[in-house]
Amino acid sequence: MRILGIDPGYGITGFGVIEADRGNTALVNCGAITTPAGMDFSARLEIIYEDMRALLEKAKPDAVAIEELFFGQNVTTGIGVAQSRGVILLAIRQAGVPVTSYKPMQVKQAVVGYGNATKHQVQEMTKRLLHLEKLPKPDDAADAIAIALCHARSSTFLLAQLHK
């Protein structure tokens, strides 16, 4: 199964594509969609949407996993990220690919085994699970890979339950 993981943002949207087959996972590609800080916000959303459509066409994922939003201290930033997530979800919907959302705690639990793991712990475990020599950059791409791994592990668990 080819899984596209997405860490949504409006300045940087991280993505990671993995292949998952019966517990074996391999990194296919990762990177980020970026938009310039001084640009009109609606133009930034258009770039994210168009780049996401192109990414979906190129990666041809069987499934997409995207992080749910967590509104911390800065609600204004959260609103912008929510708008970015909206255009990303639209592109995924139009591509006809199934999408699943995961809370940050679910990603940490699936990758590290501990829901309150630190960002560094998640990145280190991602590196180990995929047998990578170094951490993927930018951090948003590494986070997106962890989201894809979370989906791979969740899907494997759900399939195992179906076959019992």
State residue 164's pLDDT score: 44
**Predicted TM-score of the model (pTM):** 0.90
Outline where DSSP puts E strands in the chain. Answer: 2-7, 12-21, 24-34, 63-67, 99-102
State residue 163's pLDDT score: 39
CATH for 138: 3.30.420.10
State residue 152's pLDDT score: 94
How confident is the chain (164 residues) per 10-residue block, as mean pLDDT?
Answer: 96 96 91 95 97 98 92 70 95 97 94 90 92 91 96 66 41
Q: Which of 7, 19, 40, 139 is catalytic?
A: 7
Domain residues for the domain of 32 are 2-162
Can 21 be counted among the known catalytic residues? no
Can 67 be counted among the known catalytic residues? yes
Q: Which of 50, 51, 57, 67 is catalytic?
A: 67
Residue 101 structure tokens: 């959302």
Task: Give the residue from 75, 63, 66 showing the smallest Cα distance to 48.
Answer: 66
Can 143 be counted among the known catalytic residues? no
